[in-house]
Amino acid sequence: MSESKASNKEIAALFRLLGELMELHDENSFKIRSYMNAARQIEMLDRELSGMSAEEIRAIPGIGDAIQKKIAGILESGRLPLLDKYLGQTPPGILDLLQIKGLGSKKAGILWRKLGISTLDELLKAAETHQIAALKGFGPKTEENIIKSVNYYLSVRDKKLYAEMEGPLEELMQQLMQADGVIRVQQSGAIRRKNPVIEEVEVLVTSKSGTLNELKKHPLLDWSSFKEKEGTASIAWSRSLQVTACDQKGEALALFTGTTPEPVREHIRFDPKLPYLSERDIFKAAGLPYIIPEMREPALSFAYICSVKEEEIVKEKDIRGVIHMHSNYSDGTQSIREMALAAIERGYEYMLLTDHSQSAFYANGLSPARIKAQHEEIDRLNRELAPFRIFKGIESDILHDGSLDYTDDVLASFDLIIASIHSGLSMNREKATERLLKAVRNPFTDILGHMSGRLLLRREGYPIDHEAVIDACAEEGTVIEINANPHRLDMDWTHIPYALEKGLMLSINPDAHSARGIDDIRYGVYAARKGGLPGKRNLSSMPYEEFEDWIAQRKERKKRLAH
């Protein structure tokens, strides 16, 4: 890791791992908290540490002289010596234990010291033979959750988020393009379809020879697994990445075939001998409309994807406002003004500020008194930043009984309300569905936030009857959020066709906790495009005046229903 390669995300990960290992070894709790806090602060920064001076880094909350010096060392050498020390004292398999949801480094340390557990296999075996339940502080329920979490982790361990692969893959493709004889390098397969979770990454290399001969000396290629007949090779930096070669004549067909799963491809008749100049020619020759790569999925019916008009599908440039943002009033890292200026800089017309509600004590949720102070600040900023507009919102917790987190008079003080579940996630399908249905039927609920509560590759969402919730939203005129955070992308894109059929408006929202988080909007757009969402059915695509009118209509509805 060189200075230019040490990203904030990588540096934060080193400090977070250091804190976890120190907790595992039962070290000083104050130091542990300082390193974990430093990781959080670094991850939320809007600037790269590599471009900041020592003084600027020391000025970051929670980062003093000692941590600044460690950051400087990472930027220079790519190493954190204190972390290396703890890694040397820790069995390698314990790093997998730290990935198990609900276990944590403290409990992992107890299991290691008490039962000698240092691998996932040992953890699973101990849980299945009920050795863990007998330990103080664990019990049968913890044991049951460990089994479930280990099995889930094993099922996703070799998968990556699209957002995690996007940057590294682009760098690799640029390097491959520099090889002599290479004409083009293009994404293919699941990565080109922009699947939220990627199991295998594929790229198509168009070369003069039509083979991978031009790349045989490339340092990133692992030729030990090269298969000449199939024209594929694995890449050293990712065991799941495949490269396929073709010449210019066969490029369109190779790209089409590589990006189109069989259940979709079987509907298209093409002649492999024809000189297709582009993928569009293949669809045209079959008498079919062009199907964007994102929608070439077996989960969608062929009739549906052919009914969607390409020019109407939402694009990133269609987004006019930033809906669902957090400031440092709750758990965001920047002020309202800083978040607004970041939205203005990116060309947006308005934003809906939705800090956490009072029950979210872990996120510094807002009491009614703090809401009043925030609204006064928003009024001042709206005068200063006009014509840009900050709308007053809240992300109200959906409580265990399905009610919202304030009295009606407090709820009435907001322009819009996003209702979301953040606690009590261990529910069966009936309980979770009923909880959501009650919240949706509350007249103050305007937008249903991240409806399944999932965190991709981290935790499964609570099980719900998606169709029942969508039906209720259709009846109440409630918008469903497509949360653009790449770990969420919730509602899942596969439910978009049903939501559209029921007449719903959806909303691509970044759930931004920092200025940088606004840029997650593009991942929400990718997911929305997979489901064929038209721009005109996306709330955050509304121009300012139209959005303001929509809010006015919602307010009138609330007054009418309240009486």
Per the structure block, which two tokens stand in for 502? 């029921």
Where do the structural domains in the chain lie, given as residue ranges?
A: 8-156, 160-305, 317-562
pLDDT at position 3: 40
Angle at the Cα of 250 (from 245 to 255), degrees rounded to 5? Answer: 65
CB proximity list for 54: less than 8 A, separation 6 or greater: 68, 72
Residue where the block lists tokens 């000698």: 116
HEC profile of 268-288: CCCCCCCCCCCHHHHHHHCCC
CA distance to 222, 313, 446, 478, 491, per residue, from 538 (Å): 44, 10, 14, 13, 13
pLDDT at position 2: 40
Angle at the Cα of 375 (from 374 to 381), degrees rounded to 5? Answer: 90
- Residue (of 463, 513, 523, 516) closest to 488 by Cα position: 523
pLDDT at position 45: 85
Q: Do domains 8-156 and 160-305 have the same CATH topology?
A: no
pLDDT truncated to tens, each residue of the chain (563 aa)?
344 467 898 999 999 999 999 999 999 999 999 999 999 899 888 789 999 999 999 999 889 999 999 999 999 999 999 999 999 999 999 999 999 988 999 999 999 999 999 999 999 999 999 999 989 989 999 999 999 999 999 999 889 999 999 988 998 899 999 999 999 999 999 999 999 999 989 999 999 999 888 888 788 777 777 776 667 777 766 667 888 999 998 899 999 999 999 988 888 887 777 889 999 999 999 899 999 999 999 999 999 999 999 999 999 999 999 999 999 999 998 999 999 999 999 999 999 999 999 999 989 999 999 999 999 999 999 999 999 999 999 999 999 999 999 999 999 999 999 999 999 999 999 999 999 999 999 999 999 999 999 999 988 999 999 999 999 999 999 999 999 999 999 999 999 999 999 999 999 999 999 999 999 999 999 999 999 999 999 999 999 999 999 999 999 999 888 76
- SS3 state of residue 386: coil
| Superfamily per CATH, domain 317-562 | Metal-dependent hydrolases (3.20.20.140)
Task: Tell me the CATH number for domain 160-305.
Answer: 3.30.460.10
pLDDT at position 520: 97
Report DSSP letters for 307-345, one per residue.
HS-GGGB--GGG--EEEEE--TTTT-SS-HHHHHHHHHH
pLDDT at position 187: 96
Which contiguous run of DSSP H or E holds residue 295?
none
- The whole-angstrom separation of Cα 286 and Cα 293 is 17
pLDDT at position 445: 98
Contact yes or no for 491/499 (Cβ under 8 A): yes
Q: What beta strand segments (E) does 399-478 contain?
A: 416-420, 447-448
pLDDT at position 173: 93
Residue where the block lists tokens 């609330």: 558
Which contiguous run of DSSP H or E holds residue 94?
helix 94-97
Q: What topology is assigned to 8-156 in CATH? A: DNA polymerase; domain 1 (1.10.150)
pTM exceeds 0.85 for this model: yes
